[in-house]
């Protein structure tokens, strides 16, 4: 997703998504997001990579409605900086903030530092990492419940082409137990199927599941959703 031959590769993409769930309750959501990536010029000496800086930011907003409840506005923001010391190892600093008012989550904030390992086997990319994050949650109740937790954070991401230049498949899984109580853990899993329609236009189908072993009051232990998206990259 970088411009070939550019000294300072830059990539931006926008996404529109619509989700509708009809089971015990009817839930619908319309969202839009903006993703930005930027990589500095490679710093080398005697043909050896010294370091490279990478920046990534994503912002999304959505309007959601559940049964007869009022429409809710939720936002999500994620900022990450990566320093790669060679072609396969780096360190990442990140910050994130999100809301989920239908699940009583007024705000979740986290920041942390993790390692990053990049590998490539044939045309399959494998990215893994482990580190630590600090998390603060505010639950929207009559009496606000505020929790602060330090967690280990490990992740694995695999990206592989199913049909070159036409179909790509990827999945990522995060496992984040609390440092002082491993029975308090968060697990996040998402899979993504990209179908390239025309040049920079693609259709995406994703499935996401989040599990929280000890969620705050009013927040479910497991949530799952599917999305269909049209993405244009420039």
Pick from 175, 162, 171: nearest CA to 206: 171
Q: What domains does the chain contain, in order, with CATH numbers?
A: 10-233 (2.40.160.40)
pLDDT at 4 over 50: no
Q: Which token pair is 144? A: 């606000």
Residues 6+ apart with CB under 8 A from 142: none
Give the model confidence (pLDDT) of 114-149 as tens digits: 999 999 988 899 999 999 999 998 886 566 778 889
How far apart are alpha carbons 58 and 146 in whole angstroms? 25
Is residue 93 over pLDDT 50? yes
- Of 44, 57, 29, nearest to 86 by C-alpha is 44
Whether the model clears a pTM of 0.95, i.e. scores above it, the answer is no
Q: What is the mean pLDDT of residues 61-86?
A: 83
| 53 CB-near residues (< 8 Å, 6+ apart) | 39, 40, 81, 82, 83, 84
Residue 72 Cα distances to 69, 102, 103, 163, 187, angstroms: 9, 8, 11, 39, 25
40 token code pair = 């500095």
The per-residue pLDDT for 234 is 66
**CA nearest neighbour of 172 among 158, 187, 185, 151:** 158
Three-state DSSP class for residue 218: coil
In this predicted structure, what is the pLDDT of residue 71?
64
Q: And the tokens for 81?
A: 């900086």
Both tokens of 162, joined, read 């199913």
Q: Which residue has the higher pLDDT, 186 or 49?
A: 186
Q: Which two tokens stand for residue 82?
A: 């990566």
Percent of the chain with pLDDT over 70: 84
CA 166-196-64 angle, 5° bins: 140
| Residue 160, pLDDT above cutoff 50 | yes
Instruction: Give the mean pLDDT of 214-229.
Output: 80
What pLDDT score does 24 carry? 61
Residues 226 and 147 sit within 8 Å (Cβ to Cβ): no
Query: How many angstroms from the chain centroid is the CA of residue 215?
Result: 20
| 114 burial type by CB count under 10 A (0-12 exposed, 13-18 middle, 19+ buried) | buried
pLDDT for 1 equals 33
**Three-state DSSP class for 102?**
helix
- Residues 46 and 102: their CA atoms lie apart, in Å, by 56
């Amino acid at each position: 997703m970088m411009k070939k031959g550019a000294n300072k590769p830059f990539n931006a993409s926008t996404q529109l998504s619509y989700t509708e769930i009809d089971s015990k309750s009817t839930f619908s959501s319309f969202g839009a997001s903006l993703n930005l990536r930027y990589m500095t010029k490679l710093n080398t000496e005697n043909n050896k990579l010294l370091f490279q800086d990478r920046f990534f930011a994503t912002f999304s907003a959505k309007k959601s409605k559940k049964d007869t409840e009022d429409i809710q506005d939720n936002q999500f923001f994620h900022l990450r900086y990566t320093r790669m010391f060679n072609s396969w190892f780096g360190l990442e600093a990140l910050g994130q903030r999100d809301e989920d008012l239908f699940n009583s989550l007024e705000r979740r904030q986290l920041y942390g530092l993790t390692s990053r390992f990049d590998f490539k086997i044939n045309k399959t990319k494998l990215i893994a990492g482990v580190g630590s994050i600090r998390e603060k949650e505010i639950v929207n109740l009559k009496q606000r419940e505020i929790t602060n937790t330090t967690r280990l954070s490990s992740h694995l991401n695999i990206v592989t082409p199913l049909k070159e230049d036409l179909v790509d498949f990827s999945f990522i899984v995060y496992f984040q137990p609390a440092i002082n109580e491993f029975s308090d853990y968060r697990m996040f899993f998402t899979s993504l199927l990209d179908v390239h329609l025309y040049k920079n236009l693609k259709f995406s189908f994703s499935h996401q599941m989040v599990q929280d072993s000890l969620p705050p009051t009013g927040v479910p232990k497991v949530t799952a959703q599917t999305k269909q998206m049209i993405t244009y990259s420039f």
